[in-house]
Chain A
Amino acid sequence: MSPTLAAIFAPGFFTSAPVAIAASVGAVAAIVGGVVGVFTVIRGQSFAGEALGDIGTTGGSGAFLLGAGALWGFGVAAVAAVSVMELIGIQRPRGRDLATGIVLGAGLGLAALFLYLDTVYHNTTGATFTIIFGSLFAITSSSIPLVLAFSAVALGLIAALYRPLLLSSISPELAAARGIPVRLVGAGYLLALAVAVALAAFTIGTILRSAGRGWPVSFFVVTLIFAGYLLAGLLRPRRRAPITSLPDPTAAPAQS
């Protein structure tokens, strides 16, 4: 190892098996997150992503209560949440956040109940912390095929939906006029987003396991992302009208 690398990384960093697992799972999660995230930003659905992650708590605690696998709980909760969000079915970006908020409030309410029942029936006070802060999803090298399958599902969904999704993200009216089932495409995209969020949760759990001491990895991840965002804002060429701030023709002043 060269002296510069040795100065930055602790001894044994590259030979540690947990670090290798965390790095590979993290790389997969980063790729899926990058692909799905572009659409999240174009569609202005950051809140939906955050809500799906939080609703994972509901699934996780519910599965723990029933003794089922956390992943199953997460999957069921995510699909249910996506369906209800689409059922409320407000297409305006402003109203969409409202639908997300309603689902999130109800989901967290259920999570509160499940966590309470968990502590009552399983007599484990530590469960709350484990479920909320992600080590629930901690994995070993044997689960890497599962992670790969998950990411293949997410990337496959995006690839299958690519053109209609792009069109209906940028101009829902045009997409609807061309006969694209906008809401169905939106629901499919939300499912891909849920898988991406599950992967991220996996990664955080894995990283938490591998980094037993020292500052948490999530802190560095968000600091680097934030710095990158600020830097990109500074370097961004001045454009007159970025795609993301096109006036929304459906934004009626009165309510729906």
Chain B
Amino acid sequence: MVNAWTVASVVAVVAGLVGFFVVLRGSAFVAHAIPNGSFAGAAGASLVGVFALLGALGIGLLGRRGRHDVATALMLVVMLGLGALFVSLNVEYAPEVYSLLFGEILGVSASQLVPTAVLAVLCVVVIALLYRPLMLSSLLPDVAEARGIATGRMELVFLAVVALATTMTVPVVGTLLIFSLMIGAPAAARSFTDEPTRALGLSVVIALLIVWAAIALSYQTNYPVGFFVGTISATSYALGRAWAAWKRTAKIAHQLVPEPASA
């Protein structure tokens, strides 16, 4: 249980960080395709990393500037096709599908702790080193290009970071959990605040809260963790949107009220 708690917290921090840039760059499909494709290709957990990296490279190289949804879809189906081939060659693999897809976080062993932590630190270090150019090229790609940042190379590096996060998380928590965290938490955070650094911090906090609540609820009710992570993520986004809408109407009301007084 303690292992599950620790691993989940590490995963949440990485998902909050990497996911923030995923949402900023509008790469939700990539964040879905890389974990999903790599899980299908893995006839054992050891191949997840190889598939994730190859998929990320394929998407980066095939995709044209700023638009890679078709390339992403193609890489995803190619990886899934290879996965179907491997599954058909190795029948005993079937029961593992559920655990790779939805995760078995409550069954995490102590031996999985160290590699997960090492990969997590690597992810955080890469993001920290690239923080400013990555932020600029995500928010204003044209300005970044004008300032001499190779946005194409930045894209590849970013995809590699997503692949790295996938390698570390899929064998432990499953593709569904990592995807929900990478999308739901940062999307909610961005509805709460416009300031990038604050949104990044908030994204990590929300991801941590989601995971902790999900594990506690799952422990209480015996329902799968993935269910709670998926629904709480979506709920947090709905709350974020409601908050943004409420603030907007409050602002408009605030602007409207003094007007009749001054007129």
Residues of chain A touching chain B, judged by Cβ–Cβ distance below 8 Å, are 41, 44-47, 49-51, 88, 93-95, 97-98, 100-110, 112-113, 115-116, 125-126, 128-129, 132-133, 215-216, 218-223, 225-226, 229, 244-245, 253-255
Contact = CB atoms under 8 A, between A and B. Distances in A.
Interface residues of B, number: 56
9 contacts: A94-B25, A97-B29, A102-B237, A105-B183, A105-B230, A109-B234, A219-B81, A219-B82, A255-B190
A133 B84 CA distance: 9
Chain B CB within 10 Å, residue with most, of A101, A113, A219, A225:
A101
Contact of B176 (A47, A103, A112, A219): A112
* A-B pairs, 4 with minimum CB distance: A109-B230, A94-B26, A222-B81, A101-B28
B118 to A, nearest CB: 27
Contacts of B27: 97
Given A215-B88, A222-B77, A50 B230 contact: no
Nearest to A215: B85
Contacts of B67: 44, 244-245
Nearest to B181: A105
A104 B78 contact: no
Interface of B: 23, 25-29, 31-33, 64-67, 69-70, 72-74, 76-78, 80-82, 84-85, 87-88, 94-95, 97-98, 101-102, 139-140, 176, 179-180, 183-184, 187, 190, 194, 223-224, 226-231, 233-234, 237, 241
A193 to B, nearest CB: 13
Given A106-B233, A115-B98, A245-B67, 9 more contacts: A47-B69, A93-B26, A97-B29, A97-B69, A109-B227, A109-B231, A133-B87, A229-B74, A254-B194
Contact of B223 (A108, A116, A223, A245): A116
A232 B226 CA distance: 40
Nearest to B188: A102
Contact of A218 (B29, B73, B80): B80
Contact of B84 (A106, A218, A244): A218
What DSSP secondary structure best describes chain A's contact surface? helix
A220 to B, nearest CB: 8
B179 A125 contact: no
A113 B214 CA distance: 13
A112 B69 contact: no
B156 to A, nearest CB: 18
Contacts of A103: 234
Given A223-B81, A253-B140, A101 B231 contact: no
A38 to B, nearest CB: 12
Given A50-B76, A97-B26, A128-B98, A106 B81 contact: no
B173 to A, nearest CB: 12
B175 to A, nearest CB: 9
Contact of A101 (B32, B82, B102, B228): B32
A245 B32 contact: no
Contact of A98 (B69, B78, B183, B233): B183
Contacts of B70: 41, 44, 46
B179 to A, nearest CB: 6
A102 B190 contact: no
Nearest to A84: B234
B149 to A, nearest CB: 15
Given A115-B98, A115-B102, A46 B69 contact: yes
Contacts of A106: 180, 230-231, 233-234
A34 B234 CA distance: 32
A102 B69 CA distance: 17
B227 A110 contact: yes
B229 A216 contact: no
A5 B63 CA distance: 38
B64 to A, nearest CB: 6
A143 B25 CA distance: 44
B29 A46 contact: yes
A125 B31 CA distance: 29
A165 B226 CA distance: 37
A222 B233 contact: no
A101 B81 contact: no
B180 A109 contact: yes
Contact of B85 (A45, A105, A126, A219): A219
B184 A102 contact: yes
Given A223-B81, A245-B65, A254-B194, A132 B227 contact: no
A105 B76 contact: no
Given A219-B82, A229-B74, A105 B29 contact: no
